[in-house]
């Protein structure tokens, strides 16, 4: 059964890697570049900004509302990413 797609892409990143906002900058640049090439069609994306402190929050909010409703997966890979249990869980869930 096809899933309900709400987002063009899901952004997976380690929160430690976005302390200075570089993940936000790249996502903004991707969406702006897409708009330039498509005559202004906006991209929708899921980017969770909350600190995930338990896996029940992850499953309810991240998996059900984000991953399961996204067309593509954009991961910002780093040592922090692979050290994060939550990031690894997102990666495995997408695959």
pLDDT in tens, 13-55: 998 999 999 999 999 999 999 999 999 999 999 998 766 665 6
Residue 81 within any structural domain of the chain? yes
Asked if residue 1 is part of any domain, the answer here is no
pLDDT number for residue 56? 64
| Residue 21: inside a domain | yes
User: Phi first, then psi: what are they for 17, rounded to 5°?
Assistant: -80, -10
- Of 14, 46, 52, the C-alpha closest to 31 is 46
Q: Number of folded domains in the chain? A: 1
Residue 50 lies in domain? 7-94
pLDDT-based confidence at residue 86 (cuts at 50, 70, 90): confident
Q: Which of 27, 60, 29, 32 is nearest to 45 (CA)?
A: 27
In a domain, 30, yes or no: yes
Is there a domain that residue 2 lies in?
no
- Confidence at residue 53, expressed as pLDDT on a 0 to 100 scale: 61
């Amino acid at each position: 059964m096809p899933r309900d797609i709400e987002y063009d892409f899901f952004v997976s990143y380690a929160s430690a890697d976005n302390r200075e906002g570089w993940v936000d900058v790249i996502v903004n640049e991707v969406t702006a570049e897409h708009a330039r090439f498509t005559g202004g069609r906006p991209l929708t994306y899921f980017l969770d900004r909350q600190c995930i402190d338990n896996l029940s929050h992850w499953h309810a909010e991240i998996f059900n509302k984000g991953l399961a409703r996204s067309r593509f997966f954009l991961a910002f890979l780093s040592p922090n990413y692979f050290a994060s249990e939550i990031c690894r869980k997102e990666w495995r869930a997408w695959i």
